[in-house]
Amino acid sequence: MIVTEELPLRYTTPAEWAKGALSDVVALLGDHAHLEKKAASNALELINRWQGIHPPKRWVTTLANIARDEAVHLSQVTRLLSRMGATIPKTHFNPYAQGLRTIVRKGQGPDELVDRLLAAALIEARSCERFLLLSKATDNPQLATFYQGLWTSEHGHFRVFVTLANTVRPADTVTNRWSEWLDHEAKVIQSQPPGHKIHSGMDRQANPSPGF
């Protein structure tokens, strides 16, 4: 069941996006598999980015739980691919995540960590938006159920990453930075080329999209 909680995103993807993305389901799932793999490894890597000598136990268990969830998602996606006679592609190009991370304050200790957590939160939130559109647009009931289940899981992760950011820096500092990240993400997602990716852009010639 999908929770109808609002996402804070500052660009709304038109529903037409999903038709283009679903026109090659194998390619879409191949991209998705890599995203889940990356999400799992990113959660594990964040464990060691705690700024103190030893991270709090809750920090470790929370991130380990996210990594476990993402590994389960990866397994689910690869099973779907396998049923279609396909497998995870050897290579993956992710211009959306690359574009997002251009504003990470590298080498700036806790500020860098806050940025990495907020970037992760935004990837989760945007994925939620896209899974909902895909679940409504697909004519494959199995796929629709899968995307609906992911919405709930990734929405939980989105909230957890924001909560973790608030343990690293004071809440007002994080809130101000979050607003900058939301503006940045809205620009990055709109600059993506169309294609069969979870974070692909719109085919603007076929479906002109509004600005934000």
Q: Looking only at residues 134 through 173 of this chain, which bind Fe ion when binding is defined by CB under 5 A?
A: 154, 157
Cβ at position 124, least distance to Fe ion in Å: 5
Our finding on whether 177 is near Fe ion (CB under 5 A) is no
Binding of residue 70 to Fe ion (CB under 5 A): yes
Chain positions 35 to 64 lying near Fe ion, rule: CB under 5 A, are 36, 39
SS3 content of the chain, % helix, strand, coil (to 5): 65, 0, 30
Are 20 and 201 in contact by the 8 Å Cβ rule? The answer is: no
Query: Residue 180 CA to chain centroid, in angstroms?
Result: 18
Supply the minimum distance, in Å, between the C-beta of residue 121 and Fe ion. 10
Q: How far apart are CA 17 and CA 140, in angstroms?
A: 17
Are 59 and 47 in contact, with CB atoms under 8 Å apart? yes
Query: Of the candidates 34, 37, 73, 177, which one interacts with Fe ion according to CB under 5 A?
Result: 73
Q: How far apart are CA 72 and CA 149, in angstroms?
A: 12
* Closest distance to Fe ion from the beta carbon of 70 (Å): 5
Closest CB to Fe ion among residues 73, 197 = 73
Q: Which residues bind Fe ion (CB under 5 A)?
A: 36, 39, 70, 73, 124, 154, 157
